[in-house]
Amino acid sequence: MKLYTYYRSQASFRVRIALNLKGVAREEVYLHLGRGDQFAPDYRALNPQMVVPTLIDGETKLFQSLAILEYLEEKYPQPPLLPADIAARAWVRGLALINIADSHPLVVPRIRHYLTDELGLGADQLGGWIGHWLDAGLAAIEALLAEHRESGRFCHGDTPTIADIGLVTQVTPARTFGIDLAPYPRIMRIYDSCMALPAFADAHPAKQPDAE
CB neighbour list of residue 15: distance below 8 Å, 6 or more residues apart: 3, 5, 53, 55, 65, 68, 69, 72
Instruction: Tell me the Cα Rg of the chain.
Output: 17
Q: Which is nearer to a second copy, 140 or 201 (CB)?
A: 140
Amino acid at 11: A
Residue 20 C-beta: closest distance to a second copy, Å: 19
Residue 41 DSSP SS3: helix
Torsion angle in degrees (nearest 10) through CA of 99, 151, 190, 54: -40
The correct pick among 34, 60, 113, 178 for binding a second copy (CB under 8 A) is 60
Site for a second copy in 99-158 (CB under 8 A): 100-102, 104-106, 111, 114, 118-119, 121, 125, 128-129, 132, 136-137, 139-140, 143-144
Q: Which is nearer to a second copy, 132 or 207 (CB)?
A: 132
Cβ–Cβ under 8 Å, residues 29 and 5: yes
Q: Which is nearer to a second copy, 79 or 94 (CB)?
A: 94
CB neighbour list of residue 147: distance below 8 Å, 6 or more residues apart: none
Element (H, E) at 49: none
Is 89 a binder of a second copy (CB under 8 A)? Answer: yes
Binding span for a second copy by CB under 8 A among 17-25, 97-105, 153-161, 172-180? 97-105
The correct pick among 25, 27, 48, 78 for binding a second copy (CB under 8 A) is 48
- Kindly give the interhelix angle for 185-195 and 162-176, rounded to the nearest 10 degrees: 110
Residue 80 C-beta: closest distance to a second copy, Å: 14
Element (H, E) at 22: helix 10-22
Count, residues near a second copy per rule CB under 8 A: 45
The correct pick among 29, 56, 64, 189 for binding a second copy (CB under 8 A) is 64
Which residues bind to a second copy, rule: CB under 8 A? 48-49, 51, 57, 60, 62-64, 66-68, 70-71, 74-75, 86-87, 89-91, 93-94, 97-98, 100-102, 104-106, 111, 114, 118-119, 121, 125, 128-129, 132, 136-137, 139-140, 143-144
